[in-house]
A and B are shown apart, each in its own frame.
Chain A
Amino acid sequence: MTGVDSTGNGPAGKQQSFWHGRSALLMPAILAAFSLFLLIGSALLDAGSTDFPGPRFFPVILGSVGLLLAVLLALGVLRTPEPVAEADTAPGTASETPQRTYRTHSDFVALAWVAGGFLAFALLLPWAGWILAGALLFWCTAHGFGSRRPVFDILIALFLSSVVYLIFSTGLGLILPSGILGGGF
């Protein structure tokens, strides 16, 4: 934990040095939140006149175990933060903060392109239709993965989503929304 300053991760203030290598607390936090959701949900559930091992029995056990595990995991993270110097450092081509360790690095911009693209796809699908929304998803993902040919990607995206639409809608009889493209037909 003393090696934090030497990693060159910006001005290493006190607060930052606590969180550095401790983002792994995220998983225990998710687990704790989920367990609390199960416990609170069970408490609010109106089980009425069900016999002893009713619908609340199993979730309460599971939620309690989950909370216990979350506490143990969190303690583990607090005691031994993610080993900062353990992994190999990024290869020389790394653009920003080359001293950041390899394992802990995540490219959140690229991640946002894919996740955001998927969210847009999910929300736009009923209105824009499969072909346009699917092409959008394809393009955003390719962009997130660092594709340098946006126009080429648009063409492939439209081609692929149209082919899928044709195969699945006409060939296999699955219903994919046609959206605005299908409005006039």
Chain B
Amino acid sequence: MEQLDLLMQGFAGALTPMNILWVIVGCLLGTAVGVLPGLGSSMAVALLLPMTFALDPTAAFILFAGVYFGGLFGDSTMAILLNTPGQASAIASTFEGHRMANDGRAPQALATAAIGAFIGGMVASVLVVFLSPTLVALSSSFGPPEFFALALFAFVATSSVVSDNVLKGLAALVLGIGITLVGTDGVSGLTRFTLGSPQLFDGISLVTVTVGVLALGEVLYVVSRVKREREDLETRVAGRPFLSRKEFAEAAPAWGRGTLIGLPFGVIPAGGAEVPTFLAYEAERRLDRRRRVPKFGKGAIRGLAAPEAAGNATTGMAMGALLALGLPVSATAAIMLAAFKQYGLQPGPLLFDRSPELVWALLASFFLAMVVLLIINLPFAQLWAKLLLIPKPQLYAGITLFCGLGIYATSGAAFDLVLLLVIGVLGFVMRRYDYPVAPLMIGMVLGPLAESSLRDALLSSVGDPRVLFSSPITLVIYALLAVVIALSVRNSVRKRTRRDL
């Protein structure tokens, strides 16, 4: 029970008045950004990154944990009330959740989501605490070939599973990986693709790309059709959010199943929580069809409970994977990774040895963040919806201003602002022609890992490609990859035959 002792020390570190304040501030800010239309939890982390520069590392990461989970809560609040998921992981919650809200059961839907997210996140945090030594041990058996296989798996899985059109997904992926090639090559030290511009020697920052593609691209996309969009801002929220015993009993198994589905995805780099949330939703729908009175399509509480629990379970585990393996699983985790590096910390097995007080305080703050979020979301979820009463022009103008602030504060150069605009326009073009942005982000996140591990592996084997398939771990990953490809081929064939009928 060494972990429990360490966790208790972590709580002791996290429970100072100042740190509790940072958890609360983080939760509030994260929820606020998550509630805004089109902005999800990864945006919350990216935009609030400069805020943390003034803090010491422990306080900064505690703030981050609050922002991260707060963003997720905010996402699902809006998905339920207004059918506007902040990011892809909240889409599955809109199906039944928004229907519940339309039926006048918005408070119950919000409570279901908040409790589900709480359960998923709590279970994941507990698991991270107890599994972290195992993960650390596992990571020592990971060499360049294994990391390359993992990156390749993430690339293919995100571009084929998450997007409808595999070609478009792969195109976005190529752009994402390509952006990471600009700058100084880590292996040889040569500068590449900079066109001689010294501002690009350090490469293009992940934060710039995240804010550009996800926030500025979204703003440009919204403005290009703002005069056409039909408004659907009516919410019927009334009454206090509480679940009757019957509703609670109905949702409970779905929370459990969702959590179970979500947990393993936290360590698989498949682009974050989209896949598990959809899987959890599908599983509940299949189970529902077998019941005597199917409830799906009429605001089924289980159809909301499962994806919410799954999403937060994945997120919690992803933080564990980031800390123990140093492996960013989603864009948000990658930004956190960038933040770690800013403080001269390298997540991975050594982090647990070198700065245990930071790691355990951070893990303890996950629990605190969950509790704080439950408190500020359960009774006040409807207050958050009031944020949408800000008129659109001023709301989006504010978001744009904060995009500029976030980038200028991290880089301090006007050049990066121009770069942000260029990437924002790219994000707009991608949205307009239905290209998924998730593969671009995952390419940007794992591109450097893929390149350096591929080259390290080939260098060590003097150019013999067999080294890539040499260990059992790589074979397992490639086998999984084959399964993913087979499934997505089967799905697209099915879709095509259905269309023909």
- Give me the interface of A with B, judged by CB distance under 8 Å: 24, 26-28, 30-31, 34-35, 37-38, 41-42, 45-48, 50-55, 57-59, 62-63, 65-66, 69-70, 72-73, 76, 90-91, 94-95, 102, 105-108, 110-111, 113-115, 117-119, 121-123, 125-126, 130, 134, 137-139, 141-147, 153, 156-157, 160-161, 164, 168, 171-176
B385-428 with Cβ < 8 A to chain A: 391-394, 396-398, 400-402, 404-405, 408-409, 412, 414, 417-418, 420-421, 424-426, 428
Question: CB distance A134 to B404 under 8 Å?
Answer: yes
Question: CB distance B417 to A142 under 8 Å?
Answer: no
A115 to B223, CA, bound (A): 10
Question: CB distance B400 to A137 under 8 Å?
Answer: yes
Contact status of A38 and B414, CB under 8 A, knowing A55-B188, A69-B171, A134-B401: no
A126 to B412, CA, bound (A): 10
A118 CB contact (under 8 Å) in B192, B216, B225, B227: B216
Question: CB distance B177 to A62 under 8 Å?
Answer: yes
Nearest Cβ distance between residue B391 and chain A, in whole angstroms?
Answer: 7
B289 within 8 Å of A by Cβ? no
Question: CB distance B404 to A121 under 8 Å?
Answer: yes
Question: CB distance B226 to A118 under 8 Å?
Answer: no
B174 CB contact (under 8 Å) in A31, A118, A125: A31
Inter-chain contact count A-B, CB under 8 Å? 216
- Name the CB-closest residue of B to A88: B230
A106 to B426, CA, bound (A): 15
- Name the CB-closest residue of B to A139: B397
Contact status of A147 and B418, CB under 8 A, knowing A69-B171, A106-B224, A138-B398: no
A173 to B54, CA, bound (A): 7
- Name the CB-closest residue of B to A172: B54
Across-interface contacts of B138 in A (CB, < 8 A):
none
16 A-B residue contacts at CB 8 Å? A55-B188, A59-B193, A62-B177, A102-B228, A115-B421, A115-B424, A115-B425, A117-B400, A118-B424, A121-B417, A134-B404, A137-B397, A144-B393, A157-B397, A161-B401, A176-B405
Across-interface contacts of A118 in B (CB, < 8 A):
216, 400, 404, 417, 420-421, 424
Question: CB distance A30 to B429 under 8 Å?
Answer: yes
Q: What is the number of residues of chain B that contact chain A, defined by CB distance less than 8 Å?
A: 67
A168 to B402, CA, bound (A): 12
Nearest Cβ distance between residue B282 and chain A, in whole angstroms?
Answer: 26
Q: Tell me what chain A mostly uses at the interface: helix, strand, loop, or mixed.
A: helix
Question: CB distance B54 to A142 under 8 Å?
Answer: no
Question: CB distance B401 to A107 under 8 Å?
Answer: no
12 extra A-B contacts, CB within 8 A, seeds A91-B228, A145-B222: A38-B181, A55-B188, A55-B190, A59-B178, A106-B224, A107-B223, A115-B220, A142-B393, A147-B394, A173-B53, A174-B53, A175-B412
Nearest Cβ distance between residue A42 and chain B, in whole angstroms?
Answer: 8
Question: CB distance B223 to A144 under 8 Å?
Answer: yes
Across-interface contacts of A142 in B (CB, < 8 A):
393-394, 396-397
Nearest Cβ distance between residue B492 and chain A, in whole angstroms?
Answer: 14
Across-interface contacts of A145 in B (CB, < 8 A):
222-223, 226, 392-393, 396-397
A86 to B178, CA, bound (A): 34
B227 CB contact (under 8 Å) in A28, A35, A110, A141: A110
Question: CB distance B417 to A52 under 8 Å?
Answer: no
A25 to B53, CA, bound (A): 42
A134 to B50, CA, bound (A): 17
Question: CB distance A27 to B433 under 8 Å?
Answer: yes
Question: CB distance A31 to B230 under 8 Å?
Answer: no
Across-interface contacts of B181 in A (CB, < 8 A):
38, 58-59, 62
B482 within 8 Å of A by Cβ? no
B175 within 8 Å of A by Cβ? yes
Nearest Cβ distance between residue A141 and chain B, in whole angstroms?
Answer: 4
A176 to B414, CA, bound (A): 11
A107 CB contact (under 8 Å) in B227, B426, B459: B227
Across-interface contacts of B177 in A (CB, < 8 A):
62
